[in-house]
Amino acid sequence: MNDDAVAGWTQGVTRVAVLTGAGISTDSGIPDYRGPDGVWTRDPAAAEVFTRTHFMSDPAVRARFWRTYLGHAAWHAEPNAAHRALAALEDDGCAVRILTQNIDGLHQKAGSAPRKVLELHGSMREVHCTTCRVRTPTADTLARVAAGETDPRCTTCGGILKLGVVLFGEHLDPQVVSLAEQIARACQLMLVVGSSLQVEPAASLCAVAVDAGARLVIVNRDPTPYDDLADGLVREPIGVALPRITAALTRALPDATRASR
């Protein structure tokens, strides 16, 4: 990634949409899914735990699911340089909207305004009852798991509890998808950071942005299905590359934009 290329991507840009995937959080100690040392690479059967059909029909799958989240690295993870770079870009006056496939909440923890972070696949901080729809903090359910319950049920109706995240076989919230598409169409630059772009409809936001005239830059270690649409492909480590890109975006902001922050 040379400075001339970065200058070309960032020139005249004041509106940025950032689509983030698991790769942005690996420097925070949270493993990705499909990388060389990813959760599903090391244990392909683990993906079944995240499939709605298996989750809803098999108490043993639910027990494994809750055990996984009881000790999940995200509970103690801290934002890394990439998360902080995006928060700083917002502080510097750039109109930044983050469309994240992650459920770890690290963008908000880094300082990105919660209203500017759209969690496409939900959040691990909340549990939903699949019957009565009541919502409770995840900590309450995990405390029951830690105390010995393998398949905790809703204390209101006895229904199956599910983490507030989108499992395989579930549809994304249509309102969330619609808002994400609006953001993609309105941006001048779409940055993809740490996503394999193999999960739809999130991945197709790249095409939505490009069709609306935006530049597309993909920062990811491995090739993706959308590389052919990209103006730039960055294979450097995310924690190194993203701060360089956001710094260039800040430098390219009009003086009036920076002054109004």
Core vs surface per residue 223-258: b (16+ CB within 10 A) or e: ebebeeebebbbeeebbebbbebbbbbbebbeeeee
Annotated binding-site residue? 157: yes
Counting Cα atoms < 13 Å in the Cβ hemisphere of 74 gives 20
The answer to whether residues 132 and 117 belong to one domain is no
The answer to whether residues 144 and 39 belong to one domain is yes
Of 1-5, 115-119, 168-172, which one has max mean pLDDT? Answer: 115-119
Annotated binding-site residue? 154: yes
Q: Considering only CA atoms, give the Rg of the chain.
A: 19
Look at the chain and count its residues.
261
In Å, what is the CA distance from 41 to each residue of 38, 161, 195?
5, 27, 15
The answer to whether residues 149 and 230 belong to one domain is no
Name the residue range of residue 150's domain: 33-71+124-165
The answer to whether residues 254 and 181 belong to one domain is yes
Domain count within the chain: 2
Mean per-residue pLDDT of the chain: 92
The answer to whether residues 88 and 67 belong to one domain is no
- Residue 47 above 90 pLDDT? no
- Residue 259 above 50 pLDDT? no
pLDDT band at 4 (very low <50, low <70, confident <90, very high): confident
Question: End of a domain among 101, 136, 165?
Answer: 165
- Residue 169 above 90 pLDDT? no
The answer to whether residues 134 and 216 belong to one domain is no
The answer to whether residues 226 and 213 belong to one domain is yes
* Residue pLDDT, tens place only, 195-232: 999 999 999 999 999 999 999 999 999 999 999 999 99
Residue in 168, 218, 163, 171 with CA at minimum distance from that of residue 40: 168
Q: What is the phi-psi region of residue 105: left when phi exceeds 0, alpha when psi lies from -120 to 50, beta otherwise?
A: left
Distance, C-alpha 179 to centroid of its chain: 15
Q: What CATH number does the domain containing 192 carry?
A: 3.40.50.1220
pLDDT band at 34 (very low <50, low <70, confident <90, very high): low
Annotated binding-site residue? 132: yes
The answer to whether residues 239 and 189 belong to one domain is yes
Q: Known catalytic residue: 76?
A: no
- The reported pLDDT for the residue numbered 3 is 83
- Residue 192 above 80 pLDDT? yes
pLDDT band at 43 (very low <50, low <70, confident <90, very high): low
Residue in 118, 80, 79 with CA at minimum distance from that of residue 96: 118
- Residue 260 above 80 pLDDT? no
Give the mean model confidence (pLDDT) for residues 5-27: 95
- Residue 42 above 70 pLDDT? no
The answer to whether residues 151 and 244 belong to one domain is no
The answer to whether residues 224 and 178 belong to one domain is yes
**β strands within the chain, DSSP E:** 15-20, 95-100, 117-119, 122-129, 135-137, 161-165, 189-193, 215-219, 232-234
The answer to whether residues 146 and 224 belong to one domain is no
Question: End of a domain among 134, 150, 165?
Answer: 165
Residue tagged active-site, from 54, 83, 107, 121: 121
Q: What CATH number does the domain containing 145 carry?
A: 3.30.1600.10
18 DSSP β-pair partners: 98, 191
Give the mean model confidence (pLDDT) for residues 53-64: 93
Give the mean model confidence (pLDDT) for residues 47-53: 80
The answer to whether residues 158 and 236 belong to one domain is no
- The reported pLDDT for the residue numbered 257 is 60
Q: Is 200 exposed, middle or buried (0-12, 13-18, 19+ CB in 10 A)?
A: exposed
- In angstroms, the CA 257 to CA 261 distance is 7
- In angstroms, the CA 242 to CA 88 distance is 12
Annotated binding-site residue? 129: yes
* Residue pLDDT, tens place only, 100-158: 999 999 999 999 999 999 999 999 999 999 999 999 999 999 999 999 999 999 999 99
Helix (H) or strand (E) run with residue 166 in it = none
- The reported pLDDT for the residue numbered 131 is 97
Question: End of a domain among 165, 198, 221?
Answer: 165
